[in-house]
Amino acid sequence: MSYIITIVEDDPDQRRNYCEAIRAKGFTVNSYSDRQSALAGIVENPPDLVILDIILGSEVDGGFQICRELLSLYPRLPVLFLTERIDEIDKISGLRLGAWDYQPKPISLNFLAERVASLLRLVEFRASSEAADNSKKLGSLTLNEDTMQAEWREQRVDLTLTEFRLLARLARSANQSVSYESLMQATIQQYVTNNTINTHMRNMRRKFRRLDNAFGCIRNEYGFGYRWVSD
């Protein structure tokens, strides 16, 4: 299957390099240099994955604005931020918006292409009926670690990949405290701090409470980490 990748990057040299690296993987690539043209092009030709820079010309948060608008239209669209802005507050902002991944510049073109391919393999696997039978239940929670999908009382919870990894780590040690260090390792990401973990947990609670106002299974262990309390 030929996936469509959209790249939004205002630097022409970087944009060309990213396009070439990803096309070499056999994917179709559309690229844009600014927010307005990107949004118009994406609505006309919806992609399977979007790569966003944050700063787009004079718009210092242009990528964040695109992400917000896209996910309101396509809630399950994989978004990868690729940016020189690696401060914790920027990463937290991107994750709060629902990005699947956040990578710093400069980046190896081979790594970028492989990262895109791995995210698309997950998209493909999620769509496969073969993954549907490998779910595990913990009270009202259902987890499928193959597809990285979660359900609460038979309703899907739209988690990012990092949120799912954290949830799965908590679930594996249900009713036991899990340290910040263990949770950081579970994210498989760089630049993770206690505040980053706290942000993810707040986001997850919010998503669960949209489905169940009484949800209270994610508990903070002050100064140590978090615990999943079985319902």
pLDDT (0 to 100) of residue 1: 58
Banded model confidence at residue 145, pLDDT cuts 50, 70, 90: confident
Banded model confidence at residue 190, pLDDT cuts 50, 70, 90: low
| Domains defined along the chain, listed by start | 4-127 (3.40.50.2300), 132-228 (1.10.10.10)
Banded model confidence at residue 125, pLDDT cuts 50, 70, 90: confident
Residue closest to 187 by CA, chosen among 208, 204, 205: 204
Mean pLDDT for 7-12 is: 97
Element (H, E) at 80: strand 79-83
Q: How far apart are the two ends of the chain, measured CA to CA in Å?
A: 41
For residue 18, pLDDT beyond 70 = yes
pLDDT (0 to 100) of residue 102: 87
Q: How deeply is 64 buried, as exposed, middle or buried, from its count of CB atoms within 10 A (0-12, 13-18, 19+)?
A: buried
pLDDT (0 to 100) of residue 27: 95
Digit-coded pLDDT (tens) for 67-120: 999 988 888 899 999 999 878 778 778 877 888 888 889 999 999 999 999 999
Digit-coded pLDDT (tens) for 23-56: 999 999 999 999 999 999 999 999 999 999 999 9
Banded model confidence at residue 159, pLDDT cuts 50, 70, 90: confident
Banded model confidence at residue 191, pLDDT cuts 50, 70, 90: confident
pLDDT (0 to 100) of residue 172: 94
Mean pLDDT for 133-156 is: 88
pLDDT (0 to 100) of residue 133: 56
Residue closest to 183 by CA, chosen among 162, 204, 202: 162
Mean pLDDT for 140-159 is: 90
- The torsion angles phi and psi of 228, rounded to 5 degrees, stand at -95, 120
Q: How deeply is 161 buried, as exposed, middle or buried, from its count of CB atoms within 10 A (0-12, 13-18, 19+)?
A: middle
Mean pLDDT for all residues in the chain: 90
CA distance 92 to 203: 11
In order of 60, 66, 77, 119, 135, the CA distances from 129 in angstroms are: 42, 32, 19, 18, 12
Exposure pattern of 21-51 as b/e (b: 16+ CB <10 Å)? bbeeeebebbbbbebeebbebbeeeebbbbb
Place of tokens 């799965």: 168
Mean pLDDT for 169-186 is: 95
pLDDT (0 to 100) of residue 95: 74
